[in-house]
Each structure stands twice: as C-alpha cells, then as structure tokens.
Amino acid sequence: MRNWIFTALLLAAFAVDAQERLRVYKPFGDAEPRTGTQVDDDPGKFHFVVVTDRTGGERPGIWSRGLEKINLMQPALVVSVGDLIQGYTKNQSAIDAEWTAFDDMVARLEMPFFYVAGNHDFANEVMGRVWRRRYGADYYAFTYKKVLFLCLNSEDGYTAMQAPDLGRDQVEFVRGILAAHPTVRWTMVFMHQPLWLRDSGKNWLEVERLLRDRPHSVFTGHRHGYRLYRRHRRDYFVLATMGGASKLRGKSYGEFDHFLWVTMTRKGPVYANLLLGGVEDKHIRLADNPDINSPAPEENRGTPRQPPAHPTASRRAENAK
C-alpha cells in the first residue's frame, strides 16, 4: 500500500513538472524553432519600482498618471524617495488633509507602497508628529526574497534643506540591521537627499562605511535632475521627477518624468528607467485617434476594417504606376 501511494505521488509530481516546464510541440522535423529551454523564471527574481519627487512645484496629474502606469507594469512593490506632499506648514489640519489626499492616490496601487520622508514631508516638528502618528517610524527596514531594503530619513532634525543628514539613531539602527542580516543577496538604500553630495552628511558617511563590504545600491531624489554616480564600485542614483518642478528638457539634461524599474536577479539588480510617456496600455493607438476609436459602418456589421498598407508595399505600388 505504501509503495502504491509513493508511486502515485511521484507520478503526480512528474505530471505537474511536465505541465510547468517549457515544451515545444512540432508536426515534423528535428530542428528546433527556439534558442533554448531554460526559461527566465528563477524563484528569487522579482521586480520593484522606485518613484521620485511629486512635489516641490508640483505639476498636477503627473503623479496619478505615473501610478496608473506602474499598475500596468505589475511590480512586486513600490518604494518612494520622498517629497510626497507639498508640506512646509505647521497647520496640522492642512498637513493631515494633504496626507489623506496622497493616501487616497496610492491606495489605487495594486501592490505595497513604502513611504520615505523628503524635506517637503518632514520640514518641522508638527509635520514630524503627524508622520509618526500616521505612518510610524520615519526610518525602517524590510526584507523580501533575501534582499534588505533600508528606508532612511535624510531630513533628521527638520533641517528644511539646511545641513541635512541622518541622525545618530539611524546610524545605530543601520548598524544593528546589517549585523542581523549578514547574508542577504543585496542591500537597497532609499533616502530623499543625496547626502554624499553635502558636506553636512557626516553620519551618512558612517553608514557608507558600514555598507562598503556588501553589495548595495542607493536611491535618492530631491534635485529634480537624473544623475548616476559610482561610489565604492556601487550605483548611487539621483532620480528626476514624477510630477515635481522640471523644465523637462529631456534626457541630455536629466529632466523627465519617470520611475525606475529594478529587476533583482541571481547576479544582482538590473535597472531600467521607464519614462511616463513610454508606458501605455493596450489602447495606445485608439486613445488619440477619433477616426479609429469610432467604429466604421462596416465594423458595426461585423466586417473587419482593412489595415493600412505597409509603407514598403505602398512605395512598391507607387513605383509600379
């Protein structure tokens, strides 16, 4: 009886494996119409998105549009680098109203969103109290698939851009978290200001020293212009905008609305900047063309509309005249 049960379980496992593996079925021939059978579906692989500044001269509607496009891409999670509300007020009711409006927007995401404080979000003691009441700690960490995410607060002490840095408590927190997770595949660090560019960032330099012997990447925003730095043989990002003030002069100036798409692979992270104008849903052609969007009479009768001729075919026909 036991042997029969074992055999049945083994056959069931083989059946599941056969269904999940890549298989090609051909009517004839030994040649293969493919390059391989090793599908890129490593269980440790995942995607996440980094979103950057919404405020600091907000252009209304851009952030919401960006969230719609993130939902199209379906990452596992989304992490911000701050400047989420306009802030810079001590009116508690106004602060709460701004956060409630923001929370309503990110509630439309179909995956978790992680908050990081920027200077617009954490400019004074009142804003700090509201943050902690609504979201808890202003710095924290989490893990996913053996990757450590560190979310830090570059606005410690409510500096409002004057001498920004991490607090000593954050340094000790990072020290303890790194000691507790010595074997993670990668460490991802998120904060608002690129503190390695500020003379005031002394505590940040100590965090850098703690990170130096492990694979890591750093993501920031604040400057509304994209830059990529190499420090300690690692990638340090300053992202552009997703609604914050920008002249939008294009890629050569680092001025564009985007989000960063990060794929965590067995070998490490792979990065792709997705410009908001380059991510569209399945209605990309119909949206801006009323002639195509409105069905022709023959379409109403079920007769398919003829597609436009291929440009090369059109030129050949013209030359034949």
What are the structure tokens assigned to 149, written together? Answer: 């995410």
Question: In angstroms, rounded to a whole number, what is the distance separating the alpha carbons of residues 139 and 150?
Answer: 8
Position with higher pLDDT, 303 vs 50: 50
Domain boundaries, the chain: 47-278
What are the structure tokens assigned to 237, written together? Answer: 């990002």
Of the listed ranges 19-33, 55-69, 229-243, 301-315, the least confidently predicted one is 301-315
* pLDDT of res. 40: 87
- Which one, of 138, 169, 132, 175, lies nearest residue 155 by Cα? 138
pLDDT 10s digits, 209-229:
999 999 999 999 999 999 999
pLDDT at position 304 over 90: no
- Which one, of 159, 91, 154, lies nearest residue 123 by Cα? 159
What are the structure tokens assigned to 132, written together? Answer: 């902690």
pLDDT 10s digits, 142-187:
999 999 999 999 999 887 678 999 999 999 999 999 999 999 999 9
* pLDDT of res. 38: 83
Bridge-based pairing of strands 234-238 and 113-114 is unpaired
Class of domain 47-278: alpha beta
| DSSP per-residue codes, 170-196 | HHHHHHHHHHH-TT-SEEEEE-SS-GG
- Which one, of 271, 262, 274, 272, lies nearest residue 147 by Cα? 262
Bridge-based pairing of strands 46-51 and 258-265 is antiparallel
Question: In angstroms, rounded to a whole number, what is the distance separating the alpha carbons of residues 96 and 91?
Answer: 9
pLDDT 10s digits, 93-108:
999 999 999 999 999 9
Contacts of 229 (CB under 8 A, 6+ apart): 194, 196, 235, 236, 237, 238
* pLDDT of res. 232: 93
Mean pLDDT of the residues in the chain: 88
Bridge-based pairing of strands 147-151 and 140-144 is antiparallel
CB 192 within 8 A of CB 82: yes
Question: In angstroms, rounded to a whole number, what is the distance separating the alpha carbons of residues 107 and 110?
Answer: 8
pLDDT at position 290 over 80: no
pLDDT 10s digits, 257-268:
999 999 999 999
* pLDDT of res. 194: 97
| Residue 77: strand pairing partners | 48
CB burial class (10 A; 0-12, 13-18, 19+) of residue 269? middle
Angle ∠(273,277,281) on CA atoms, nearest 5: 100
Q: Treating both helix axes as pointing N-terminal to C-terminal, what angle do 168-180 and 202-211 enclose, rounded to 10 degrees? A: 10
CB-CB neighbours of 109 under 10 Å? 17
Question: In angstroms, rounded to a whole number, what is the distance separating the alpha carbons of residues 80 and 207?
Answer: 20
pLDDT 10s digits, 181-209:
999 999 999 999 999 999 999 999 999 99
Question: In angstroms, rounded to a whole number, what is the distance separating the alpha carbons of residues 226 and 249?
Answer: 12
Question: In angstroms, rounded to a whole number, what is the distance separating the alpha carbons of residues 193 and 187?
Answer: 18
* pLDDT of res. 284: 87
| Residue 241: strand pairing partners | 53, 257
* pLDDT of res. 12: 43
